[in-house]
Amino acid sequence: MISTKKIYHSALSDDFQDWQAELSGAVSDLDTLFDLLDLPKQAQVHTPKQFGLRVPHAFIKKMKKGDINDPLLRQVLPDTKETWTIGGYSTDPLDENNHNPIKGLLHKYQSRVLLTVTGACAVHCRYCFRQHFDYHTNQPSTHEMDAVIGYITKHTEVDEVILSGGDPLSLSNKRLKLWLDKIGEIAHIRTVRLHTRLPVVLPNRVDDELITLIRHYQKNIVIVLHINHPNEIDDQLIAKTKQLKDAGATLLNQSVLLADINDDIHTLSKLSQDLFGAGILPYYLHILDKVQGAAHFDIAISDAIRLYWQLLEVLPGYLVPKLVQELPNRPFKTPIDIYQHSNEKN
Ligand SMILES: *Cc1c(COP(=O)(O)O)cnc(C)c1O
Ligand code: SF4
């Protein structure tokens, strides 16, 4: 199922020396992207002023050539529909700006804090709820780290620290180690969690240094990957997830339900099965956050519920992710009531 993907873009292989070169070599202009995919110029795309096109070659290689509707391409392609202003979609849908006690730290859920350790992502996902987040005021510098660490040390109700962003694995190993070391000294922290898309869009990021760092870490490490479609899972990713697991990390996945990308039973059930094949358990299936510019990815809650009933039927319980929605001012991700019968778009 996976190896056929390798015939695409074989000319690109091994052009890059290491993951940081690959990261800075990410494609950021439409012409290059269309050239690589053998696609003609498209009318329905635009060049955004902020949060522009960004996609690493390794992710482009997983796309099917000549297919403008490829489910991976659609996740990164800036559609002109992004520029439409749609009622009910905001720039801060989760009201995160109100749970930001100090720079770079979100404390919204009782036992977990989320750190935005970097604003950088290897890929710009068009549905991202943080696309309007003010990262420049939310990237702690080395001395600002101490304020963050001080806050966590004081808040003994917190037992888990989530490294997020942006993407925490876009940090260098050195910088990441600095965070892990500082957090490692806080006695009441049991678990460090990383939310990342890097192993998927740039598998070389999972290098030997990172594996060693994880292997020797004294706290639990949980890695939550963001995989939305089974085509994102290939042999290279599986080799990397195996290494991460061998190093002691627990691997989970969260997906977002996206219109015409993964909103059908075949894709979603295959995604769960293929995740399991890669040693990853499905964790969350998110209803899209209502962020401005992403309305064209949204699906009706009633359709999400219908799909979920089908998933419950075809999958073993451990492969069914929790269907959730993030609502402002709720101290947890809200489970969708699957017994409601609503035909309205939420
Ligand atoms: C999603 C999220 C978490 C983690 O929630 P879990 O249910 O533990 O996965 C923590 N803090 C914030 C601000 C979040 O958005
Ligand atoms: S990797 Fe995550 S944070 Fe970065 S753009 Fe994609 S969804 Fe947003």
Query: Of ligand 1's atoms, which has the minimum distance to the CA of residue 284?
Result: 9
Cα 254 from Cα 183, distance rounded (Å): 24
Q: Is the pLDDT of residue 2 over 60?
A: no
Give the global pTM: 0.92
Q: What is the pLDDT of residues 252-278, one digit of tens each?
A: 999 999 999 999 999 999 999 999 999
Give yes or no for residue 145 CB within 6 A of ligand 2.
Answer: no
Q: Is the pLDDT of residue 39 over 50?
A: yes
How would you list the strands of the sheet with 250-256, edge to edge?
A: 105-109, 112-116, 160-164, 191-196, 220-226, 250-256, 281-286, 322-325, 334-335
Q: What is the pLDDT of residues 291-345, one digit of tens each?
A: 999 999 999 999 999 999 999 999 999 999 999 999 988 999 999 999 986 444 4
Cα 251 from Cα 238, distance rounded (Å): 12
pLDDT for position 129: 85
pLDDT for position 3: 43
- Ligand 2 center–CA 229 separation, angstroms: 15
- Ligand 2 center–CA 134 separation, angstroms: 14
Most confident option among 5-9, 89-93, 282-286, 339-343: 282-286
Nearest CA to ligand 2 atom 7: 128
Q: Report the chain's mean pLDDT, rounded to a whole number.
A: 91
Cα 55 from Cα 64, distance rounded (Å): 15
Query: Of ligand 1's atoms, which has the minimum distance to the CA of residue 333?
Result: 7
**pLDDT band, very low/low/confident/very high, at 130 (cuts 50, 70, 90):** confident
Give yes or no for residue 76 CB within 6 A of ligand 2.
Answer: no
Burial of 343: CB neighbours in 10 Å, binned 0-12, 13-18, 19+: exposed
CB neighbour list of residue 343: distance below 8 Å, 6 or more residues apart: 300, 302
- Ligand 1 center–CA 169 separation, angstroms: 18
Q: Is the pLDDT of residue 245 over 80?
A: yes
Query: Between the CA of residue 230 and those of 65, 332, 340, what are the distances in Å?
Result: 17, 27, 29
| Cis preceding linkage at 166, omega within 30 | yes
Cα 11 from Cα 57, distance rounded (Å): 11
User: Which ligand does the CA of 164 lie closest to?
Assistant: 2
Averaged pLDDT for residues 190-212: 98
Query: Of ligand 2's atoms, which has the minimum distance to the CA of residue 130?
Result: 8
